[in-house]
Amino acid sequence: MSTDEYRRGKKVERERQQKRRRASGRYRGVLPVIYAIGFVLFTVVSLFIGPEPAFAVYLVTHLFYAGLIRGDINSLRQQGIDWGFSRHLWFGAAFALPFVAPAYYLYSGRVIRRENESRELVE
């Protein structure tokens, strides 16, 4: 018998049910759409209006990306996926670096796939 069979309570039942569910990112699917919209806005503003407003678009979209990445990582952590210290790096890098959102999208897909395989829930 494992030690989990002796534990009781609501927290233990939640942990058992969590291990049976598929992990999925809450905002992961929206991230490429928002990234594409931000890229188009940045390009149009920089071509037709100028560099200062384009920089403002860059800042606002990256604040939005950082918020989406933070929310997504928090939702994945609530589902039992451990991110460790790298969650701070993803969040911080989303503020300044232009290709963090697509890199996070690809990386989080690998993490979710690996977690679902370990839970034996891949179709």
Are the beta carbons of 103 and 113 closer than 8 angstroms? no
Q: Is position 12 within any domain?
A: no
Q: Is position 19 within any domain?
A: no
Higher pLDDT among residues 73 and 18, named by residue = 73
Q: Is position 17 within any domain?
A: no
Q: Is position 69 within any domain?
A: yes
- The range of the structural domain enclosing residue 75 comes to 27-117
Query: Is the pTM above the cut of 0.85?
Result: no
CA 86 to chain centre: 12
Show the tokens assigned to 70: 């933070």
Q: What is the per-residue pLDDT across 66-105, written as a single tens digit (0 to 9) for each? A: 888 888 888 888 888 877 788 888 888 888 888 888 898 9
Nearest-angstrom CA–CA distance, 51 and 82: 40
Total of domains in the chain: 1
Q: Is position 96 within any domain?
A: yes
Q: Is position 72 within any domain?
A: yes
